Amino acid sequence: MSALTPTKQSSYTPAFGRLLIALIFVISGAGKIAAPGMTLGYIASAGLPLPLIAYLVAVGIELGGGMLLVVGYQTRIVASVMTIFTIATAVSFHHDFADQNQTIHFLKNVAMAGGLLQVVAFGAGAFSIDGRFGHALRRASAQPLLNRVCSLEEVQS
């Protein structure tokens, strides 16, 4: 059995980190689907307008964003949206600092937002769709521009 080299370890670490961050979102989104009435009641009790729309947005961000985070697709955009959602959730639902449980949930959301901002800053890493195809997509999108520049140089010669 070979030991993890720093290169291998640094390749696996972002993927494992994305999985750990995404777990809470995926599980929470699945819980919302399993108990929509309870979730809609909780959203309404917080005084948010349009509880059904808020519910659908929450499920979409938690399940969709969580799964996209796991596979590492459009990771920086997804993590940015999830950061905003997480802070909005903290402010909307966990603002009663007289209740120690709510304070802990607020701080948990802030910590999750910090982890998501790390993903925004450093990207998905090598084991991701972004890492696998990102370089090829950037080359493919730059190729037509490169072709035009080369054509102009030939014309000017």
SS3 153: helix
Tokens, residue 90:
């903290």
Q: What is the model's pLDDT at position 134?
A: 72
Could you tell me how far CA 67 lies from the centroid of its own chain?
Answer: 9
Cβ 18 vs Cβ 26: under 8 Å = no
CA angle 131/133/138 to nearest 5° reads 100
Give pTM, 2 decimals: 0.78
Residues 76-117 have pLDDT tens digits of: 999 999 999 999 999 999 999 999 999 999 999 999 999 999
Q: Are 99 and 47 in contact (CB under 8 A)?
A: no
pLDDT at position 144, please? 56
Please list the rounded mean pLDDT of every run of 10 residues in the chain (157 residues): 59 91 97 95 92 96 97 96 97 93 96 96 91 64 50 53
pLDDT over 70 percentage in the chain: 79
The pLDDT value given to residue 14: 92
